[in-house]
Chains A and B, each alone.
Chain A
Amino acid sequence: MDSGVEQTRELPQEITTKTDTRDILARETQYQIDKGFRDWTIVDVDAHHSEMSSWREVVEYLDDPILKHYAHEFQARTGGAPGLSNHMPGLRYQDAGGRIPHQTHIGEKVEDDSVHRDVTLMRRSMDAMGLDHQILFPGNLLQLGTHPQPRVEAQLALAYNRWVCERILPMDDRVKTLLYLPISEPDMCMKIIKEFGENPNVSGFMITAVRYKPVHHNQFIPIYRELEERGLPLAFHAGLTWGDDWMKQLDLFISMHAISFVLCNIVHMTNWIIHGMQERFPKLDVIWIESGLAWLAFLMQRLDSEYLMRPSEAPLLKKLPSEYMADMFYTCQPIETSNMALTEETFKAVKAETQLLYASDWPHWDFNPPSTIYDLPFLDEQAKRNILGENAVKLFGIDTKKPKTA
């Protein structure tokens, strides 16, 4: 006789730092299957690994024997990271007091030792989120732009770039990077571009946006010229800081994070536009990463209004600042959706259908799975497909014939 009681199965009670990435993201996997977009081409233009977990390996790639000696000594005293780096203690707030375990630590079991542990973790996140390709960035090294020792920043950038290109990227064709450029040291940037510019796993180069030298400085022009001539995109990856005078007034992580991640890109974008960099480098593809999207509509209107009154201060411009901004590329994460009407207008303003790139930012606390784009109510299917993958395929010239799983 039917008792009316249905059979169930029990799930783990709590997700912790030991939970497998595929289990953490299982709901996204199932949602893609249910909605029927799991076979779409999805390219994640901003994901991270924890290079500090491999810091002992990274510092072995330092050229400078004295810095390498310091790195060894720092590790002997502290047990590992973050010797030589300018790791900011405030970053420890990111997991909201342990509320978001995948931000705290990815401590899951990895048995496959045929590849670097980071490669296995990347594969798990890609498989769970249905990603075809992923652009990988470091984590704590994104703070290097404020390192008090420009030479150390440059040496660490070179060491990390060599390590990631040798130990991580060759292990999976689906994973690429935009390599770190330490623009405080332009000569090193040129060396890095020449050494890695032809590397098939390097899709372009990246400047960490938390830094205090104007991006239009003549010192940097040869870097942009070199990238444009090579047809390689340039990205500005935003970050946080508690170190400048404005941010010091924001005494909670939520406040500092909300503003500093946007402020750095607002400052660089303003200089980039007003100093006519788009006119000087019309063929250079520029990508602005990880400031969300809400800042764009504000800045477009703000710069347009000021430019119309003061064109003599921006003589290189031949059109409105907002028009130049709509020529560039943006990653969507962390997308703001509390007012969907504003989100929709922002999408229109930046010509999202061709200029917006999906980014997860996994495994960080404010990551966006692909469903955040799929679920937007004002996009048609082609726009969703473009943002989730097709725009990035065109921008980076990605071979879409590669399989989705390794």
Chain B
Amino acid sequence: MAELFVGREDEFEDRGRKVIAHGDLEIGVFFVDGGFYAYENKCVHQGGPVCQGRILNRVVEMISDDKTSQGLAWSEDDVHIVCPWHGYEFNLKTGVHPGYKNARLRPFDVKLKDGEVYVVT
């Protein structure tokens, strides 16, 4: 087990990230809603650099009580990372695809020490 230094806590803005490499292993560390989350920079689809994609809120469709569609909106809660190769999306807090729970990013534990951020591999 190794600890990889990522950066200082105060370097991360909300929805900020750092993508680091240790040998061939690449890891993206994200700061979302006050929490740190880390995943391997490898999409489960075709191995793309998922952690280097765009961060966007999940798109939701608003359905009324009468089941009619009232159009699309940004989710207020769910933040996604989008793989830049093909567009696979994953919830940044869970690492899971919104419609296919078997598609999930490989997570890593994040450790905070004296204002510094580490991932545990």
Q: Which of B4-19 contact A (CB under 8 A)?
A: 4-6, 17-19
A124 nearest CB across to chain B (Å):
16
Q: Check B6 against A8 for contact (C-beta < 8 Å).
A: yes
Residues 318-341 of A contacting B (Cβ, < 8 Å) = none
Q: How far is the CB of A262 from chain B (nearest CB, A)?
A: 18
Q: Mark A338-374, 1 if CB is under 8 A from B, else 0.
A: 0000000000000000000000000001111101100
Would A13 and B19 be within 8 Å (CB), given that A98-B54, A365-B87, A366-B86 are in contact? yes
Q: Do A14 and B47 touch (CB < 8 A)?
A: no
Nearest neighbor of A335 in chain B, beta-carbon distance = B46
Q: B52 contacts A12, CB within 8 Å? A: yes
Is the beta-carbon distance between A5 and B48 smaller than 8 angstroms? Answer: no
Of the residues B19, B54, B118, contact of A99 by C-beta under 8 Å: B54
Contact of B49 among A10, A27, A367, A372 (CB under 8 A): A27
Chain A contacts of B54 at CB under 8 A? 14, 98-99
Cβ–Cβ contact B47 & A99, under 8 A: no
The answer to whether A12 and B86 touch across the interface, beta carbons within 8 angstroms, is no
Interface residues of A in 6-30 (CB under 8 A from B): 6-15, 24, 26-28, 30
Q: Are A10 and B19 in contact (CB under 8 A)?
A: yes
State which of B17, B22, B47 has its C-beta within 8 Å of the C-beta of A6: B22
Cα A366 to Cα B54 in complex, Å, equals: 17
Q: Is the CB of A4 within 8 A of B2?
A: yes
A96 interface residue (CB < 8 Å to B): yes
Task: Convert A77-100 into 0s and 1s, putting 1 for each residue whose CB lies closer than 8 angstroms to a CB of B.
Answer: 000000000000000000010111
**B98 close to A (CB within 8 Å):** no
> Are A30's CB and B24's CB within 8 A?
yes
List residues of A (102-130) whose CB comes within 8 Å of B's CBs: 102
Q: Is the CB of B86 within 8 A of A5?
A: no
A239 within 8 A of B: no
A240: min CB distance to chain B, Å: 16
- A290 CB → nearest B CB, Å: 15
Q: When the two chains form their complex, are residues B82 and A99 in contact, meaning their CB atoms are under 8 A apart?
A: yes
Inter-chain contacts of A138 with B (CB < 8 A): none
Distance in Å from the Cβ of A334 to the closest Cβ of chain B?
A: 9
Closest CB-CB distance, B53 to chain A, in whole Å?
A: 7
Q: Which of A5, A11, A31, A366 contacts B3 (CB 8 A)?
A: A5
Q: Is the CB of A15 within 8 A of B84?
A: yes
The interface on chain A, measured as residues whose beta carbon lies within 8 A of the other chain's beta carbons, has a size of: 32
- Residue A101 at the B interface, CB < 8 A? yes
Interface residue tally on B, bucketed by range: 20 to 34
> Is the pair B18, A13 in contact by a Cβ cutoff of 8 Å?
yes
Is there an interface contact between B52 and A365, defined as CB atoms closer than 8 Å? no
CB < 8 Å: which of A5, A13, A34, A96 contacts B52?
Answer: A13
| Neighbouring A residues of B87 by C-beta, 8 Å | 96, 99-100, 365
Least CB distance from A106 to B in Å reads 13
Q: What is the minimal beta-carbon distance from A260 to any residue of chain B, in angstroms? A: 19
- Contacts A8-B21, A10-B18 given; does A27 touch B42 at CB 8 Å: yes
Question: Are A11 and B46 within 8 A (Cβ)?
Answer: no
In the complex, are the beta carbons of B47 and A102 less than 8 A apart?
A: no
* Chain B residue contacts of A371, Cβ below 8 A: 46-47
Chain A residues with CB under 8 Å of B2's CB are 4-6
Given contacts A15-B49, A99-B56, A8 and B20 within 8 Å (CB-CB): yes
Q: Are A11 and B86 in contact (CB under 8 A)?
A: no
Given A14-B54, A102-B84, A4:B3 Cβ within 8 A: yes
Q: How far is the CA of A28 from the CA of B85 in the complex (A)?
A: 11
What's the Cα separation between A99 and B6 when bound, in Å?
A: 26
Contacts of B89 in A (CB 8 A): 99
Q: In the complex, how many angstroms separate the beta carbon of B93 from the nearest chain A beta carbon? A: 19
B26 within 8 Å of A (CB atoms): yes
Report A-chain residues with C-beta under 8 Å of the C-beta of B17.
Answer: 13
Rounded to whole Å, the gap between the CB of B72 and the closest CB of chain A is 10
Cβ contact within 8 Å between A14 and B5: no
Decide if B5 touches A27 in the complex (CB within 8 Å). no
Q: How far is the CB of B9 from chain A (nearest CB, A)?
A: 16
Distance to closest chain A CB from B37 (angstroms): 15
B41 on the A face (CB < 8 A):
yes
21 pairs from A and B in contact (CB 8 Å cutoff): A5-B3, A5-B4, A5-B5, A5-B118, A6-B3, A6-B121, A7-B5, A8-B22, A10-B21, A11-B26, A11-B41, A13-B17, A13-B18, A14-B53, A15-B52, A15-B53, A96-B82, A100-B85, A101-B84, A102-B84, A367-B86
Knowing that A5-B5, A10-B19 are A-B contacts, what are 7 other residue pairs whose CB atoms are under 8 Å apart, sorted by A's residue number? A5-B4, A5-B118, A12-B19, A15-B53, A99-B87, A100-B85, A369-B46
Query: Could you list which residues of chain B lie within 8 angstroms of chain A, going by C-beta atoms?
Result: 2-6, 17-22, 24, 26, 41-42, 46-49, 52-54, 56, 82, 84-87, 89, 118, 121
Top 3 closest A-B pairs, CB basis? A11-B19, A8-B20, A15-B84
